[in-house]
Amino acid sequence: PKPNIDPTAVLIKAYACQRRTPLKHHNSFLTDALEILSQNAEYNDNEGRSVAFRRAASVLKALPYRVKNMEDLKSLPCLGDHSQRVIKEILEDGSSREVESTRQSDKFQAMKALTGIFGVGVRTADRWFREGLRSPDDLFRTGQQLNRAQQAGVQYYDDLQKPVTKAEADVISDIVEKAVRAVLPGAEIRLMGGFRRGKEVGHDVDFLITHPEEGKEEGLMPKITNWLEEQGLLLYQKTTRNSYLEKMDGPARAPNNMDRFERCFSIFKLQTGSERASVSGWRAVRVDLVVSPYSQFAFATLGWTGSKLFERELRRWAGQEKHMSLSSHALFDSKQNLYLRAKTEEEIFAYLGLEFIPPSERNA
Ligand code: CTP
Ligand code: MN
Ligand code: MN
Ligand code: MN
């Protein structure tokens, strides 16, 4: 039997990057609800409110016990009045009226369906919603103008809604490795994002690619995508060139989670089904490829592992507590006015004065 945990004796730190957050935790019945409200705030372009709910949910994910009553929450950070009201109602009644009515609302459901299309952000979805559109079918029916990404998003909508399994991610890893090795021997490839954090499913598969000889990685992406295209493995791809300049993008630039690596947002054609029964088919899978110079690889690794809230909290910690500026490219110390170089994630945590948190505990 599990020893009883005294909730008042559990100390939870205020920043998600100071805590260990496992994938599986004890409070999904609360965090799912708070994340609905966070998502809804995002759909209504209220970022502050969205982050507040997400932070509250994240604190509950880090708890080593299931919340039973409001007393259990007494010493916890990041739980605002609104979040506490929602939690209280769920503890007392089993559900929250606000959460349930949000979940059922026309706006929430339409925004979820529309932003679920690859290439469609909140702004576009909101415009379509105000024009009376509710689903991918409506776009098709009313002949909306779609860009290339959105066309692919609508075309492969059903496949892209299906979660990608770890087994599928492993098959794609093999393909990416083969492609990269064919065009640049000696390159290193790392599986990033949710799968690096130990998730069993994801909405896409993320890869980071580098080469130990700095400079060799320049212009690598078009070679990779050409190889993949020749093999008939790509349904869609959009490559963006590297645009990072230390002098311009470093300390002077406002903190931003969008990095400037050479990258490719793609949709792979993944063979499925059993060969023996010769019912071989295929499905579409979203794949993100990112190329980093070797000297930035540790920062890129940290930045592309996530979770998104964990990343956000790392940057907030760096800025507010350490007067440093962290990005997926570099760490700048404003007090010393210099860039701090790192070869490993461990070194970056150390510069930031943080205990190292392994990827599997970054599920904030
Ligand atoms: N990321 C980024 N810039 C982007 C998109 C993503 O730096 N334009 C980073 C995110 O901060 C995150 C990681 O890449 O750390 C993975 O993002 P994403 O694939 O969206 O999320 P996952 O955590 O992998 O979750 P999922 O399983 O849903 O893919
Ligand atoms: Mn636990
Ligand atoms: Mn991902
Ligand atoms: Mn991704």
Residue 272 is part of a domain; what is its CATH number?
A: 3.30.460.10
Counting ligand 1 atoms within 8 A of each CB, the residue from 190, 204, 301 with the most, and so the one to mutate, is 204
CB 187 within 8 A of CB 298: no
Q: Is the pLDDT of residue 162 over 90?
A: yes
With contact defined as beta carbons under 8 Å apart, do 297 and 210 qualify?
Answer: yes
Q: Whose CA is nearest to atom 1 of ligand 1?
A: 304
Domain annotation covers residue 183: yes
Residues with CB under 5 A from ligand 4 (ion): 204, 206, 288
* 25 within some domain: yes
23/114 same-domain check = no
Does ligand 1 have an atom closer than 6 angstroms to the CB of 313?
no
Residues 172 and 211 in one domain: yes
- Predicted confidence band at 257 (pLDDT cuts at 50, 70, 90)? low
256 shares its domain with 214: yes
Residue 2 pLDDT class (50, 70, 90 cuts): low
Contacts of 101 (CB under 8 A, 6+ apart): none
CB 10 within 8 A of CB 64: yes
The Cα 180–Cα 51 span in angstroms is 37
At 256, the pLDDT band (50, 70, 90 cuts) reads: low
Residues 200 and 232 in one domain: yes
Q: Print the domain residue range for 277.
A: 164-294
Final residue in a domain of this structure, among 267, 294, 321? 294
Confidence of residue 67 (pLDDT cuts 50, 70, 90): very high
Q: Is 95 found in the same domain as 210?
A: no
Atom of ligand 1 nearest to the CA of 305: 15
CA atoms within 13 Å, Cβ hemisphere of 172: 30
Q: Does residue 177 register a pLDDT over 50?
A: yes
Give yes or no: residues 96 and 120 share one domain: no
SS3 315: helix
Pocket test for ligand 1, best of 199, 308, 311, 363 (most atoms within 8 A of CB): 308
pLDDT at 316: 98
Structure tokens of 38?
């966070």
In a domain, 299, yes or no: no
* Model confidence at 173: pLDDT above 90: yes
With tokens 């060799």, the residue in question is: 216
Asked whether residue 331 is domain-assigned, the answer is: yes
The SS3 call for residue 335 is: coil
17: pLDDT strictly greater than 50: yes
CATH value at residue 336: 3.30.210.10
CA-to-CA dists, residue 345 to 60, 232, 339, angstroms = 26, 36, 15
The answer to whether residue 151 is domain-embedded is yes
Asked, for residue 334, whether it belongs to a domain, the answer is yes
The total of other beta-carbon atoms located within 10 Å of residue 162's CB is 13
The pLDDT assigned to 7 comes to 86
Report the C-alpha gap between 86 and 94 in whole angstroms: 11
Q: Are residues 242 and 262 in the same domain?
A: yes
Determine what percent of the chain falls in helix, strand and coil, rounding each to the nearest 5. Answer: 50, 15, 35
Q: In what order do the strands lie in the sheet with 331-333?
A: 324-326, 331-333, 338-340
252 pLDDT tier (thresholds 50, 70, 90)? very low
Which ligand places an atom closest to the C-alpha of 201? 1
Nearest Cα residue to atom 27 of ligand 1: 202
The reply to whether 92 and 113 lie within a common domain is: no
Report how far ligand 3's centroid is from the alpha carbon of 203 (Å).
6
Q: Assess whether the previous peptide bond of 307 is cis (omega < 30° from 0).
A: yes
Distance 207 CA to ligand 1 centre (A): 10
Q: How would residue 248 be classed by pLDDT, with cut points 50, 70 and 90? A: low
Q: Note the maximum CA span of the chain.
A: 65
State which of 191, 238, 288, 314 you would mutate to test the pocket of ligand 1, scoring each by most atoms of that ligand within 8 A of its C-beta: 288
Residue 187 lies in a domain: yes
92-96: long-range contacts, CB 8 A cutoff, minimum separation 24: 95/33, 96/33
Which has the closest alpha carbon to 293: 211, 231, 224? 211
**DSSP secondary structure of 33-90:** HHHHHHHHHHHTT-HHHHHHHHHHHHHHHT-SS---SGGGGTT-SS--HHHHHHHHHH
Residue 93 lies in a domain: yes
Is any atom of ligand 1 closer than 6 Å to the C-beta of 303?
Answer: yes
Is the distance from CB of 237 to CB of 266 less than 8 angstroms? yes
pLDDT, tens digit, 9 for 90 and up, residues 260-308: 999 999 999 999 976 565 566 999 999 999 999 999 999 999 999 999 9
Both 278 and 171 in one domain: the answer is yes
Shared domain for 169 and 290, answered yes or no, is: yes
Question: Do 183 and 66 fall into the same domain?
Answer: no
Q: How would you classify the pairing of strands 262-272 and 234-240?
A: antiparallel
176-201: average pLDDT: 98
| Ranges assigned E (strand) in the chain | 164-165, 188-192, 201-202, 205-210, 234-240, 262-272, 281-291, 324-326, 331-333, 338-340
Go through the chain and tell me how many residues it has: 364
- Does ligand 1 lie within 6 Å of residue 35's CB atom? no
Q: Which of 72-76, 144-148, 255-259 has the lowest mean pLDDT?
A: 255-259
- Domain termination residue (choose one: 102, 125, 147): 102
Mean pLDDT confidence for 30-52:
98
Output the six-digit token pair for 166: 């770890």
CA of 25 to the centre of ligand 2 (A): 5
Question: Is residue 362 predicted with pLDDT exceeding 70?
Answer: yes
- The strand pairing partners of 210, in sequence order, are 188
> In the predicted model, what is the mean pLDDT of the chain?
95
More confident residue, 255 or 25: 25
| Residue 21 per-residue DSSP state | B
Atom 6 of ligand 1 has which residue's CA nearest to it? 304
- Same domain for 114 and 87, yes or no, is no
How many domains are there within the chain?
A: 4
Query: Which residue among 102, 127, 142 closes a domain?
Result: 102
Ligand 1 centroid–CA 16 distance in Å is: 17
Ligand 1 centroid distance, CA of 277 (Å): 36
CATH number at residue 54: 1.10.150.110
Beta strands 281-291 and 205-210, pairing class: parallel
| Cα-to-centroid distance, 27 and ligand 2 (Å) | 10
pLDDT at 328 over 90: yes
Q: Name the residues annotated as catalytic.
A: 204, 206, 288
